Amino acid sequence: MRRSSWPATLAPVRQILDEGFDLAPVTVLVGENGAGKSTIVEAIASAFGMNPEGGSTASMSETRKTESDLADHLQLIRGAGASKQGFFLRAETMHGFFTYLESIGDEGTFHEQSHGESFLDLVAARSRVRGLWVLDEPESALSLPGCLALIGLLRDLVSNGSQVLLSTHSPVLAAYPGASLYEVGEWGIRSSEYDDLDLVRNWRGFLESPERYLRYLD
């Protein structure tokens, strides 16, 4: 991929293309909007064989192509005996994915539930999938208790041999115990401790003194 072409113009994407990127049992990417988190996780999911709109490696759901062609330029290297199964969860495309499940006769009742309830129930219902789980900003569907419930579900998946790649703006999900944390931005991708994340510092600052932030809205 030409480094002068999007999305290689994004520093994190360019770093992955030039240096590669190792996934831990649980890898969490955080960063501002537009930094490249979703582009990266979407491309990894697609390169793995998952539907870029969400779903498993066998899902055929498709509405409108919005993903980049980054996946075509990634080579995934699996460990010996690694599963070829995977599941990609994107909060922004869940409605379309649930419609697809209904169209193929899936017995779930996801459209009859709230966004958060259906998201968590989908993870639980697909927990038999052992492999790579990719989640793109799932917190948009979840409350604080919902985020904690998702961590519990993901820990069960990992304990049974799955691997998790997660992009998030949530300090709750970023606190996943034992996760490898990476901050994505104009510098590229850098490893970070939880307390050093801008995400965590900013949320702590806001919760300690909301007026310091809100006064700039006037």
User: What is the DSSP code string of 2-16?
Assistant: -TTSTTTTSHHHHHH
Which pair of tokens denotes residue 46? Answer: 């697609």
Residues 6+ apart with CB under 8 A from 193: 181
The CATH number of the domain holding residue 197 is 3.40.50
The answer to whether position 5 is within a domain reads no
Residues 6+ apart with CB under 8 A from 140: 91, 92
| 3-state SS string for 144-167 | HHHHHHHHHHHHHHHHCCCEEEEE
Taking the CA of residue 94 as centre, how many other CA atoms within 13 Å lie in the half-sphere pointing to its CB?
A: 25
The answer to whether position 1 is within a domain reads no
In the predicted model, residues of the chain with pLDDT beneath 70 are: 56, 58-67, 91-116
The answer to whether position 90 is within a domain reads yes
Domain around 99 = 11-217
Instruction: Decide: 56 and 126 in contact? Cβ < 8 Å.
Output: yes
The answer to whether position 207 is within a domain reads yes
The answer to whether position 192 is within a domain reads yes
Overall domain count for the chain? 1
pLDDT tens for each residue of 57-103? 766 555 545 567 899 999 998 887 788 899 898 766 665 666 666 66
Residues 6+ apart with CB under 8 A from 92: 136, 137, 140
The answer to whether position 3 is within a domain reads no
Res 111: pLDDT: 47
Res 98: pLDDT: 60
Residues 6+ apart with CB under 8 A from 132: 23, 45, 48, 83, 85, 86, 87, 162, 163, 164, 165
Q: What is the spatial distance between Cα 120 and Cα 117, in angstroms, rounded to a whole number? A: 5
The answer to whether position 109 is within a domain reads yes
Average pLDDT over all residues of the chain:
86
Res 110: pLDDT: 52
Closest CA to 178 of 30, 25, 41: 25
Instruction: Decide: 149 and 114 in contact? Cβ < 8 Å.
Output: no
The answer to whether position 134 is within a domain reads yes
Cβ burial 106-128 (10 Å sphere, 16+ → b, else e): eeeebeeeeebebbbebbeeebe
Res 94: pLDDT: 60
- For the whole model, what pTM was predicted? 0.87
Strands (E), the chain: 26-31, 55-56, 86-90, 132-136, 163-168, 180-185, 188-191
